[in-house]
Amino acid sequence: MHRCLWLGVGLCCVLWYPIETVVAGDPLKFQEADGVRWYDIRQLGVEGQGWTDTKAPYDRLPARAEGKVRDAVWSLSRNSAGMCVRFLTDATTMQARWTLTSDRLAMPHMAATGVSGLDVYARAEDGTWRWLACVQPKAQGVVQTSPIASGIKPGLREYLVYLPLYNGVTSVEIGVPSAHEIADAPDYDAAHVQPIVFYGTSITPGACASRTGMVHTAILGRRYQRPVINLGFSGNGRMEPEVTALIGELDAAVFVIDCCPNMSGKETGERTRPLVEQLRQTHPETPIVLVEDRRYTDAWLLASRAERNDGNHAALKAAYKPLRRCLIRCSGTNSRLTRSSALAESM
């Protein structure tokens, strides 16, 4: 059993763009009011979207998916989970203004900061991302305005802002004092531009992270310095061919399939091979990682819970073994079966 999720995939290089290498482009557009310049993040290039032909600016699936995927999947795809934006500024004070699609800011089991908030990181001198601020949705309703930070050490830096996990947005703006500007961050180099694509359950889009940057997909994106596309659908990650067909359109560095928690052992056994074969039609060499179900923490006392975990684990292993031998190019480093615990250990 492989202990490292990314073994052989080639994602482990640390990538850092020194600020001195940034070439200034055309100034970005902004709206100025009360001494603050507000920048719409769409002109910065929102990361985490696999398609540009969306019904709304921050949807996770293309508009043509409506009516093709189940209604529940479509509805969940309107959430902005996994999306983020990078930018440069030398401002010592920043704030955010964003409009949500739902006024349900929190859930009984998940904080408003994770459901509807923003999470901000800054790139340190060693090239790593370090946390700066959790931007809380404090107002009642969908329109939110909150400070990010003030008293920031002077200097031009790259910043990273994660969008809400379990809410959607119609607009997101970053505000800086009128004496300062925001500029585009450097592009990823050719070796790191392909995204890590996750397809999964409620866990994938962050249930139940307290901050939007603390979902495991975002953590791995920062660690491996790659864009991430998060296609997790709460209660609806079921290895469905309609969703798999869309995923197959993406030019991914690796596909991570983490759907077992939403399926029975029987469904896992029936759907794993068809999913892999479907992806292999358009991606004969792209690594595919099949993630085992997590063990319920109460399974040591509840036999039915343990039986569900055991059944799913056995079914995924049984489906994986013939895939390694068949002629659909799933051998060597291009296929991986990993325990969910290995994913946690890699973080």
Tokens of 261: 């928690």
Q: Which of 19, 167, 153, 170 is nearest to 93 (CA)?
A: 153
Q: How far apart are CA 65 and CA 56, in angstroms?
A: 13
The per-residue pLDDT for range 290-302, each reduced to its tens digit, is 999 899 999 999 9
Answer yes or no: is pLDDT of 10 > 80.
Answer: no
- Alpha-carbon Rg for the chain in angstroms: 21
How much is the pLDDT for 337? Answer: 61
The whole-number pLDDT of residue 338 equals: 58
pLDDT for 144-155, tens place per residue?
999 999 999 999
Residues of the chain with pLDDT > 70: what percent? Answer: 86
Cβ–Cβ < 8 Å for 293, 340: yes
Stretch among 118-122, 204-208, 332-336 having the lowest mean pLDDT: 332-336
Check pLDDT > 50 for residue 241: yes
Q: Tell me, yes or no, if the two domains 29-184 and 196-346 fold the same way.
A: no
Instruction: Report whether pLDDT(169) > 90.
Output: yes
Residue 332 has pLDDT above 70, yes or no: no
Question: Does residue 106 sit in helix, strand or coil?
Answer: coil
φ/ψ of residue 336, rounded to 5: -145, 135
Could you say which of 2.40.110.10, 1.10.150.120, 3.40.50.300, 3.40.50.1110 is the CATH number of the domain covering 196-346? Answer: 3.40.50.1110
Confidence of residue 342 (pLDDT cuts 50, 70, 90): low
Report phi then psi at 200, rounded to 5.
-165, -155
Q: How confident is the model at residue 5 (pLDDT cuts 50, 70, 90)?
A: very low
Question: For the chain, which residues make up each domain, given as ranges?
Answer: 29-184, 196-346
In the structure, what pLDDT confidence band is assigned to residue 324 with cuts at 50, 70 and 90?
Answer: confident
Domain 29-184 CATH assignment equals 2.60.120.260: yes
List the one residue out of 227, 203, 191, 200 whose CA is nearest residue 83: 227
Sheet of strand 228-232: strand arrangement: 228-232, 196-200, 254-258, 288-291, 335-338
In this prediction, residues 192-218 reach a mean pLDDT of 98
pLDDT for res 26: 78
Residues 284-289: what's their mean pLDDT?
A: 94
Distance CA 70, CA 310 (A): 28
Please, what is the average pLDDT of the chain? 90
pLDDT tens profile 58-81 = 999 999 999 999 999 999 999 999
DSSP 257: E
